[in-house]
């Protein structure tokens, strides 16, 4: 009995800590807004200008979500339902845009327009933001839909094919079965696009998120910034609540130990068409931006590249260290919340991470600043701890879901068999569950690491004075520096990110080979 | 030798009632088969006896000691002296055959672990498989390892949840005969869950036929064969 009480106390204290660190700042932001003076009441914020700005931001994000979901779903169908050479290569490379910070693509496309058309006017527009966001977010839809497709049992399709044509079977059987995945893809792309600050800010497009940043950081109009943040927060929460059931189980990466149960079709003579489509996508989403950056950075201006390297080198090491620490914390907390949800039915910590995941970066940043900018907690506000909290808030949910999917793959009977044999629960966790979870833990760590490395929205808001970070430095310098210097720094940023992804990929292959038990 | 008694057990999963006022005493040192269609509550009985589930209501006794009572587990699974063979076998994929069997012995600080494991491997004729991993074994070999593992801690009760569901008839018969010999020799109480009436008749000293969370009939093979219950007769025929 004493042991149960002890366990409950530990569980409660851990949850309380997570709540105090992450959820309380957001709740206090809401409370502050509700209880503050005249200027911040709802009616003064909901004016014509703000409503138009919200409408414009929602429309742009809606278009991005639609295009990203459509492109991602087509890719997922091709890559997860058809058998053809190099499909693994496409799966990996088409995923890269999601792992690279969106502003890198913004810089690349600006360079591309300058290179191709001689001016950048066309890209400095709403269309430019939509283009870059679609490129960045379609892999998310591909991932979620692909995961859903590979979980559809072959029998459903084969039974359908007995009575209707392939096309009809796809429309009548497969599409309804992946509807939750499509909804989640659309919703997440919409929320991510709505809350991204970097691309619209770079293209000088006024959106609700950039407006919040401007009011808070440039004009110091805190009441208005807080009021606007609350509206954006409420919009995102509304979207989240509409599909919370599906969202809390969104597959993201599923590290399967069982292999796919779904049916795969031979591409046959459609191979050329498939390769053409996928290459076209690969070129426009990854190769062309990389080429544009390289051309702009290196053609006749090697001195800029050398200068950029000198400027970014210390920041790069700092960023990698911080991302590593962030990923370690996120993976540990993700394991705790996922295990609690899947094995102990403790859903609150996971729900809390879902809440902070949905909160736009700038809003999270403002909430954290307002909460931690006090002398008593200056050890958080004035150090990199505040960044680690922000990263946990932004990416903890993704790690929790990846690990949660891994836990779901381990039959409960593995733990029960050990329990019957008299193994204490701590040892069952350490010797049975943990070794089987290594691939999922590694995937969660890698994804968190890469995402922390490229996070800009919250980082711009909360990074402590004196700290130099790669993404912030590149973004900040783009306002005043020559175009070639910006491009060089962005190219180095991209190079560092891709190099680390490849390094982790090689290490991951070894990990999966060693620890994935079939 | 342990006797198992279940008194007025009620159990449900979410809103679905699985066992309704289930009472029965399983004879010590005998082989009892729980027979019935899918979803009738056979596995639940096994899991309740093992202590993997709490009964919503009722009392479970093992050798006159109350082990579970009205929503509470009084004695945890590992202190009940039971072995459990799971339907999916639950062989730990990251352990070798040797480690799968030795794990419980090592963690419980038993003496002569190597000797005991070797004895079990020999008993089931799988000594050469000791360094292999589960995925390197055939279906029948996996069943043998799972059964050997369940016997490692020298249980007084052996619970088997359809462990031979996915193997061919010939191999099934061989393993069953082997199990019966071991049970006769070691005299543990054995509860065997199956939906196959032939397997039940072939395995059990006693048969308990279940339907929709209740006992339809219980008795020796002969008694079951001549049961007056319409359900039992139709189920035995199929």
Residues B65-81: tens digit of each pLDDT: 999 999 888 988 888 88
- Please tell me which of the candidates A257, A416, A423 has its beta carbon nearest to residue B107: A423
Give the closest-approach CA distance of B80 to chain A in angstroms: 8
Please classify residue A477 by burial: count the beta carbons closer than 10 Å to its beta carbon, then call 0-12 exposed, 13-18 middle and 19+ buried: middle
B76 touches chain A (CB under 8 A): yes
Cβ of A423 and B103 within 8 Å? yes
Amino acid A458: pLDDT: 87
* Residue B94 to residue A414, Cβ atoms within 8 A: no
Check: CB of residue A297 under 8 Å from CB of residue A305: yes
The shortest CB-CB distance from A413 to any of B82, B88, B153 is to B88
What does the block give as tokens for A239? 């979207």
Write down the pLDDT at residue A257. 44
Q: Which residues of B touch A427 (CB under 8 A)?
A: 107
A431–B90 C-beta distance less than 8 A: no
Q: Is A431 on the interface with B (CB under 8 A)?
A: yes
Pick from A257, A422, A515: CB nearest B107: A422
A435 and B94 within 8 Å at the Cβ level: the answer is: yes
Q: Is B140 in contact with B173 (CB distance < 8 Å)?
A: no
**pLDDT, position A44:** 63
Q: Which residues of A touch B120 (CB under 8 A)?
A: none
Among A262, A283, A279, A260, which residue's Cα sits nearest to residue A271? A279
B135 in any annotated domain: yes
ipTM rounded to 2 decimals: 0.77
Residue B103 near chain A (CB below 8 Å): yes
- Hey, of B62, B74, B77, which one would you mutate to test binding to chain A, going by the most A CBs within 10 A of its CB? B77
In the prediction, which pLDDT does A175 show? 87
What is the distance in angstroms between the Cα of A156 and the nearest Cα belonging to chain B? 22
Q: Which residue of A has its CA nearest to B86?
A: A413
Q: What's the domain count of chain B? A: 1
Contact A421 B94 (CB under 8 A): no
In a domain? residue B120: yes
Q: Does A416 touch chain B (CB under 8 A)?
A: yes
Task: Inform me whether the C-beta atom of residue A441 falls under 8 Å from chain B C-beta atoms.
Answer: no
CA distance A514 to chain B (A): 10
Interface test with B, best of A422, A426, A431, A433 (most B CBs within 10 A): A422
Which candidate from B77, B87, B93 shows the least CB-CB separation from A517?
B93
A436 interface with B at CB cutoff 8 Å: yes
Torsion angle (degrees, nearest 10) of CA A412, A416, A417, A420: 180
- The pLDDT confidence band at residue B190, using thresholds 50, 70 and 90, is very high
The secondary element (H helix, E strand) that includes residue B230 is: helix B230-237
SS (H, E, C) A176-222: HHCHHHHHHHHHHHHHHHHHCCHHHHHCCCCCHHHHHHHHHHHCCCH
Are residues B84 and B159 in contact, defined by beta-carbon separation less than 8 angstroms?
yes
A422 and B104: CB-CB below 8 Å?
A: yes
Helix (H, G, I), strand (E, B) or coil at A518: coil
Q: Kindly list the structural domains of chain A, giving each domain's residue range(s) and its CATH number in brackets, ordered by start.
A: 16-515 (1.10.3720.10)
Extract the runs of DSSP E, i.e. beta strands, from chain B.
4-13, 16-26, 31-35, 57-62, 65-69, 72-73, 82-85, 157-161, 189-194, 206-211, 214-220
B43, B89, B107: best to mutate for the A interface, most A CBs within 10 A: B107
For an interface test with A, the pick among B90, B117, B154 (most A C-beta atoms closer than 10 Å) comes out as B90
- pLDDT the model gives residue A160: 74
The whole-chain average pLDDT of chain B stands at: 89
Query: Is B165 an interface residue toward A (CB < 8 Å)?
Result: no
Q: Are A340 and A404 in contact (CB under 8 A)?
A: no
pLDDT by residue, tens only, chain A of 518 residues: 566 777 778 778 888 888 888 888 888 887 877 776 555 555 666 778 888 888 999 999 999 999 999 999 999 999 988 888 888 889 889 988 888 888 888 988 888 888 777 777 788 899 999 999 999 999 999 988 988 888 888 777 877 777 777 788 888 888 888 888 898 899 889 988 988 888 998 898 998 888 888 887 777 777 777 777 788 888 888 887 776 666 666 655 555 544 556 778 887 778 888 999 999 999 999 898 888 888 877 765 567 778 888 888 888 899 999 999 999 999 999 999 999 888 888 888 888 888 888 888 888 888 898 888 888 888 888 889 999 999 999 999 989 988 988 898 889 999 999 998 888 888 999 999 999 999 889 989 998 998 899 888 889 888 888 888 888 888 888 777 777 788 888 888 888 888 998 899 888 888 887 776 64
Residue of chain B whose alpha carbon sits nearest to that of A514: B94
State how far residue A421 is from chain B, nearest Cα, in angstroms: 5
In a domain, B121, yes or no: yes
Residue B117 lies in a domain: yes
Quote the pLDDT of residue B61. 93
**In terms of CA atoms, which chain A residue is nearest residue B79?**
A422
CA B42 to chain CA centroid, Å, is 10
Domain assignment of residue B127, given as a range: 95-153
Position A41 scores a pLDDT of: 54
DSSP string, A61-122: HHHHHHHHHHHHHHHHHHHHHEE-TTHHHHHHHTTHHHHS-HHHHHHHHHHHHHHHHS--TT
State whether residue A328 sits within 8 Å of chain B by CB.
no
CB < 8 Å from B in window 117-156 of A? none
Residue A265 host element (H or E): strand A265-266
B88 or A66, higher pLDDT: A66
A418/B133 touch (CB, cutoff 8 Å), yes or no: no
Rounded to 5 degrees, what angle do the CA atoms A359, A361, A363 make?
Answer: 65
């Amino acid at each position: 009995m004493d042991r149960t009480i002890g366990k409950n106390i530990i569980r409660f204290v851990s949850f309380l800590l997570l709540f105090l660190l992450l959820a309380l700042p957001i709740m206090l932001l809401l409370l502050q807004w509700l209880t503050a003076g005249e200027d911040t009441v709802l009616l003064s914020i909901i004016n014509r200008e703000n409503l138009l700005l919200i409408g414009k931001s929602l429309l742009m994000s809606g278009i991005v979500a639609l295009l990203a979901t459509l492109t991602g779903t087509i890719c997922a169908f091709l890559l997860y339902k058809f058998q053809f050479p190099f499909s693994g290569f496409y799966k990996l490379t088409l995923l890269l845009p999601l792992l690279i910070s969106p502003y890198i693509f913004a810089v690349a496309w600006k360079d591309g327009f300058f290179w191709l058309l001689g001016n950048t006017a066309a890209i400095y527009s709403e269309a430019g933001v939509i283009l870059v966001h679609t490129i960045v977010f379609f892999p998310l839809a591909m991932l979620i839909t692909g995961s859903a497709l590979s979980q559809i049992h072959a029998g459903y399709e084969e039974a359908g094919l007995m009575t209707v044509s392939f096309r009809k079977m796809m429309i009548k059987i497969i599409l309804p079965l992946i509807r939750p995945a499509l909804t989640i893809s659309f919703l997440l792309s919409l929320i991510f696009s709505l809350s991204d600050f970097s691309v619209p800010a770079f293209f000088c497009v006024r959106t609700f998120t950039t407006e919040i940043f401007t009011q808070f950081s440039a004009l110091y109009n805190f009441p208005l910034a807080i009021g606007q943040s609350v509206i954006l927060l409420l919009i995102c929460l509304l979207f989240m609540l509409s599909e919370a059931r599906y969202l809390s189980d969104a597959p993201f990466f599923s590290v399967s130990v069982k292999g796919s149960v779904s049916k795969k079709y031979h591409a046959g003579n459609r191979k050329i068409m498939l390769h053409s489509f996928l290459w076209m996508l690969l070129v426009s989403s990854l190769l062309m931006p990389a080429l544009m950056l390289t051309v702009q950075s290196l053609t006749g201006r090697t001195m800029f590249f050398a200068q950029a390297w000198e400027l970014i080198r210390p920041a790069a090491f700092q960023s990698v260290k911080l991302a590593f620490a962030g990923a370690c914390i996120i993976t540990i907390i993700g394991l705790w919340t996922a295990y609690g949800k899947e094995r102990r039915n403790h859903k609150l910590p996971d729900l809390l991470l879902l809440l902070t995941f949905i909160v736009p970066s700038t809003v999270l940043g403002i909430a954290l600043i307002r909460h931690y900018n006090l002398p008593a907690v200056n050890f958080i506000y004035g150090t990199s701890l505040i960044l680690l909290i922000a990263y946990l808030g932004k990416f903890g949910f993704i790690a929790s879901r990846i690990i949660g999917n891994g836990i779901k793959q381990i039959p409960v009977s593995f733990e029960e068999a050990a329990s019957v044999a008299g193994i204490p629960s701590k040892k069952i966790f350490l010797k049975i569950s943990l070794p089987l979870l290594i691939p999922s833990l590694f995937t969660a760590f890698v994804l968190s690491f890469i995402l922390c490395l490229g996070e800009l929205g919250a980082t711009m808001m909360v990074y402590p004075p004196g700290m130099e970070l790669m993404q912030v430095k590149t973004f900040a310098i783009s306002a005043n520096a020559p175009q070639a210097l910006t491009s060089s720094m962005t190219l180095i940023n991209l190079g560092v990110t891709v190099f680390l992804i490849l390094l982790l990929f090689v290490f991951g292959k070894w990990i999966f080979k060693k620890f994935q038990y079939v | 030798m342990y006797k198992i008694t279940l008194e007025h057990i009620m159990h449900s999963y979410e809103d679905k009632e699985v066992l309704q006022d289930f009472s029965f005493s399983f004879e010590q040192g005998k082989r009892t088969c729980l027979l019935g269609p899918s979803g009738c509550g056979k596995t639940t009985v096994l899991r309740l006896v093992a202590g993997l589930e709490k009964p919503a209501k009722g009392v479970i006794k093992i050798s006159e000691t109350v082990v579970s009572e009205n929503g509470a587990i009084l004695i945890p699974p590992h202190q009940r002296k039971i072995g459990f063979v799971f339907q999916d076998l639950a062989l730990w994929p990251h352990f070798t055959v040797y480690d799968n069997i030795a794990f419980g012995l090592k963690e419980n600080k038993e003496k002569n672990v190597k000797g005991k494991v070797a004895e079990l491997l020999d008993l089931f004729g799988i000594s050469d498989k000791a360094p292999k991993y589960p995925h390197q074994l055939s279906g029948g070999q996996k069943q043998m390892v799972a059964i050997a593992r369940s016997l490692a801690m020298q249980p007084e009760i052996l619970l088997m949840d359809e462990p031979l569901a996915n193997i061919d008839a010939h191999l099934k018969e061989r393993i069953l005969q082997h199990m019966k010999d071991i049970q006769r020799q070691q005299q543990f109480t054995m509860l065997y869950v199956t939906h196959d009436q032939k397997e039940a008749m072939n395995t059990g000293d006693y048969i308990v036929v279940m339907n929709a969370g209740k006992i339809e009939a219980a008795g020796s093979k002969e008694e079951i064969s001549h049961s007056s219950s319409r359900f039992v007769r139709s189920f035995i025929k199929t």
